[in-house]
Homo-oligomer: A and B are copies of this chain.
Amino acid sequence: MTNPVLVEVLRGGHVESRHSGALAIVDADGGLVCALGDIARPIFPRSAVKALQALPLVESGAAERWRLSDAELALACASHSGEPEHVATAAGVLSRLGLDVNALECGTHWPTREPVLRGMIARGEQATPLHNNCSGKHSGFVCVACQMALASGREPAEFARGYIGADHPVMREVTAAMSGMTGVDLEQAPRATDGCSIPTYGIPLRGLALGFARLGSGQGLAPVRAAAARRLRQAAAEQPFMVAGSQRFDTLVMQALGERLFCKIGAEGVYCAALPELGLGLALKIDDGGVRAAEAAMAAAAEALLQLDEAQARLLAGYSDLLMKNWNGIEVGGVRASAELRAALSASR
């Protein structure tokens, strides 16, 4: 099946490049509200499902035991830019567990936020696993591990070791939460290793959209899970900076829309989102993995589905109909949601 073009890249008024992809919007009963392209093929959701992976952190009682703040819970759902606040927040969680950066198994990479990176280089500093965009999620996993260890009388640090493995009790809980939310049996699903070394499972866009419809509405969830979902969404809405960072789509859009939209990007062109007021969930994947296209498509979806004020509309249009300038500041083209995507989204309103 060939997926439709969701996003076009223009230069001088001509289409220079094209991004095809697939998109599903469903309600909390799994009813299809919008479908474009192949939404049945399993795709790796990557970091777009961090909020689902963070459910055990709340459900297990770990968040309550260590009194995790909104910022800390939002960071558990984040692909952050490695800014000082992100790093300090992840470090703070570990320190309350009596642990430090050595407990993290996500690997090290430099902050993605340019000015932060430049400052570190200028000061001769080195990156650590705390700068990894997944350090908040991993701190959350370590937290769950400590909670499990204490419940069973084990030594927390020792119990946590290897938490990234698919068969570790922490990861089994995480996988069970994703399976329950999406309605997909992940035992049978394609499996691969994510950038931060935890497993990633192939899930159809339709299942991912259902998971986010449930995350946003709580519908069909056990009370403990519905409460955990609400807690995480509220934390992200209160602390959207923690979910991504300065000048990042997810942060800017959640700052503007609050609890009306929870959205999260994943590597290789994936987006997942919950729209609680509509009881809808959304999942999309750009075939080629392009971030610019994933953001443009996500923005077009939010524009089509939500009532927006002028500032909110302008913010989203800055992504769904993005102007590109060259090194001399000359307008050379843009990135825009395709007419086919816009039409399908309009029809689903």
* Chain A positions near chain B (C-beta within 8 angstroms): 2, 9, 11-14, 16-20, 42-44, 105-109, 118, 121-122, 124, 132, 190-197, 200, 202, 268-269, 286-290, 293, 326-330, 332-333
Q: Which of B191, B194, B333 contacts A326 (CB 8 A)?
A: B194
Establish whether residues B332 and A194, one from each chain, have CB atoms under 8 Å apart when the complex forms.
yes
Instruction: Given A287-B17, A288-B288, decide whether A195 and B107 contact each other with a Cβ distance below 8 A.
Output: no
Q: Are B195 and A332 in contact (CB under 8 A)?
A: yes
A202–B122 touching, CB < 8 Å? no
Report the bound CA distance from A14 to B41 in whole Å: 12
B326–A9 touching, CB < 8 Å: no
Among B107, B193, B268, B326, contact of A12 (Cβ-Cβ < 8 Å): B193
| B288 touching A16, Cβ below 8 Å | no
Q: Is the CB of B290 within 8 A of A327?
A: no
- Name the residue on B nearest A11 (C-beta): B192
Quote the shortest CB–CB distance from A104 to chain B (angstroms): 11
Indicate if the CB atoms of A192 and B16 lie closer than 8 Å.
yes
Residues B197 and A327 in contact, CB atoms below 8 Å apart: yes
Chain B contacts for A13, CB-based, 8 A: 192
Chain B residues positioned under 8 Å from A191 (CB to CB): 12
Whether the Cβ atoms of A268 and B19 lie closer than 8 Å is: no
Q: Are A268 and B44 in contact (CB under 8 A)?
A: no
Residue of B with least CB distance to A12: B192
By the criterion CB–CB under 8 Å, are B16 and A268 in contact?
yes
A124 to B268, CA, bound (A): 34
Q: Find chain B residues with CB under 8 A from A192 CB.
A: 11-14, 16, 332-333
Q: Which chain B residues border A109 with CB–CB below 8 Å?
A: 327
Known: A122-B122, A293-B288. A197 touches B17 (CB 8 A): no
The CA-CA distance from A293 to B287 in the complex, in Å, is 13
Interfacial chain B residues near A287, Cβ < 8 Å: 17-18, 20, 288
Min distance, Cβ A318 to any Cβ of chain B, angstroms? 20
In the complex, chain B residues whose CB is within 8 Å of the CB of A193:
11-12, 326, 330, 332
Cα(A212)–Cα(B347), bound, Å = 47
Q: Cα distance A132–B268 when bound, in Å?
A: 28
Say whether B328 contacts A268, CB under 8 Å: no
**Could you tell me if B195 and A9 are in contact, using CB atoms closer than 8 angstroms?**
no
A43 to B121 alpha-carbon distance, docked (Å): 39
Please name 15 pairs of A and B residues whose Cβ atoms are closer than 8 Å in the assembled complex, sorted by A.
A11-B193, A14-B44, A16-B43, A16-B289, A17-B286, A18-B288, A19-B288, A20-B288, A107-B326, A108-B327, A132-B327, A192-B333, A196-B326, A197-B326, A287-B288
